């Protein structure tokens, strides 16, 4: 039984979705002078939207509260509250997904009060409509049932967190694991397969982090 509904998103899908999002924006008639990527998830979509809309100006803002993949958030904050003068400019704030909407609301309010653009619109590849506190001006996919989208730019980070979470739970009754057993429990929990390269890299990181110990091809849960 899958415990966390997860979809593995490919690079090709990201290009397709970003191109689709750019088309939605274009057909509205909105032409941004500057794109603001919401760091970190909005970086790649924002860069692609700039490409598909032929926009030269790209800056970013780091609004964050998700510390671990697919975990309930604490509090959102603007990490580096620097000042940029956007007066007279039409700005487009771009993120990967609007989940709760908390980080986007914070970024939007900060930009409106501190950077003062003439106009500010919000675009996201995906919008989880039943849980989001805001609806972006532009989106490409409306998600009706919450799930974790495993984007290609967080594949390693998510794999590390996912293994850690599954093993922390399963590790209460089982301390010694083989590579195949960990891989199977991962697929059982999340319903996706990130492939051997990412899987091995994540296990290596978990050994480096001191969460696992490897000996003779077996993994021991240390904490
Ligand atoms: P917002 O909805 O304003 O983006 P959230 O706090 O809900 O704010 O999400 C912040 C970031 O966390 C997202 O931009 C995305 O990078 C990541 N994230 C949140 N929910 C998901 C999800 N369901 N799948 C993948 N990534 C997510």
Q: Which residue's C-alpha comes closest to atom 22 of ligand 1?
A: 148
Q: Which residue's C-alpha comes closest to atom 25 of ligand 1?
A: 149
- Over the stretch 180-213, which tens digit does the pLDDT of each residue have? 999 999 999 999 999 999 999 999 999 999 999 9
- Whether ligand 1 lies within 6 angstroms of the CB of 45 is answered as no
Mark which of 124, 146, 168 sits at the end of a domain: 146
- Over the stretch 71-104, which tens digit does the pLDDT of each residue have? 555 678 999 999 999 999 999 999 999 999 999 9
pLDDT at 1: 78
Q: What is the CATH number of the domain that holds 36?
A: 3.40.50.2020
User: What average pLDDT does the chain have?
Assistant: 95
- Whether ligand 1 lies within 6 angstroms of the CB of 117 is answered as no
Rounded to whole angstroms, the Cα distance separating 114 from 162 reads 37
Asked whether residue 66 carries a pLDDT value surpassing 80, the answer given is no
**Residue 40 — very low, low, confident or very high, per pLDDT cuts 50/70/90?**
very high
Same domain (yes/no): 126, 106: yes
Backbone angles phi, psi at 135, to 5 degrees: -105, 125
Same domain (yes/no): 169, 107: no
- Whether ligand 1 lies within 6 angstroms of the CB of 158 is answered as no
- Whether ligand 1 lies within 6 angstroms of the CB of 153 is answered as no
Same domain (yes/no): 140, 159: no
Residue recorded with tokens 């487009």: 92
**For the residues 158-174, what does the mean pLDDT come to?**
94
* Torsion sign across C-alpha atoms 10, 11, 16, 21: positive
Same domain (yes/no): 188, 139: no
Same domain (yes/no): 80, 163: no
Range of the domain at 180: 152-221
Domain count for the chain, please give it: 2
Rounded to whole angstroms, the Cα distance separating 84 from 165 reads 39
- Widest CA span in the chain: 64
How remote is the CA of residue 1 from the centroid of ligand 1, in Å? Answer: 24
Same domain (yes/no): 60, 110: yes
Q: What is the CATH number of the domain that holds 208?
A: 1.10.10.10
How remote is the CA of residue 132 from the centroid of ligand 1, in Å? Answer: 10
Asked whether residue 220 carries a pLDDT value surpassing 70, the answer given is yes
């Amino acid at each position: 039984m899958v415990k966390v509904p997860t979809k593995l998103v490919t690079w090709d899908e990201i290009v397709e979705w970003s191109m689709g999002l750019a088309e939605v924006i274009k057909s509205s008639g909105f032409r941004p002078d500057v794109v603001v990527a919401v760091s970190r998830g909005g970086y790649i979509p924002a860069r692609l939207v700039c490409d598909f809309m032929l926009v030269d100006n790209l800056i970013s803002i780091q609004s964050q509260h998700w510390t671990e993949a697919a975990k309930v958030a604490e509090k959102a904050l603007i990490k580096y509250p620097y000042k940029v003068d956007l007066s007279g400019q039409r700005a487009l704030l771009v993120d990967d997904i609007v989940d709760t909407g908390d980080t986007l609301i914070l970024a939007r309010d900060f930009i409106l009060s501190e950077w003062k653009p003439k106009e500010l619109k919000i675009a996201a590849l995906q919008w989880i409509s039943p849980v989001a506190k805001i609806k972006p001006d532009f989106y490409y996919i409306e998600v009706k049932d919450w799930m974790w989208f495993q984007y290609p730019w967080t594949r390693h980070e998510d794999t590390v967190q996912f293994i850690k979470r599954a093993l922390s739970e399963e590790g209460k009754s089982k301390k010694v694991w083989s590579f195949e057993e960990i891989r199977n429990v991962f697929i059982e929990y999340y319903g996706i397969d990130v492939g051997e390269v990412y899987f091995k890299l994540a296990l290596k990181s978990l050994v480096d982090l001191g969460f696992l110990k490897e000996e003779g091809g077996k993994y021991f849960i240390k904490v």
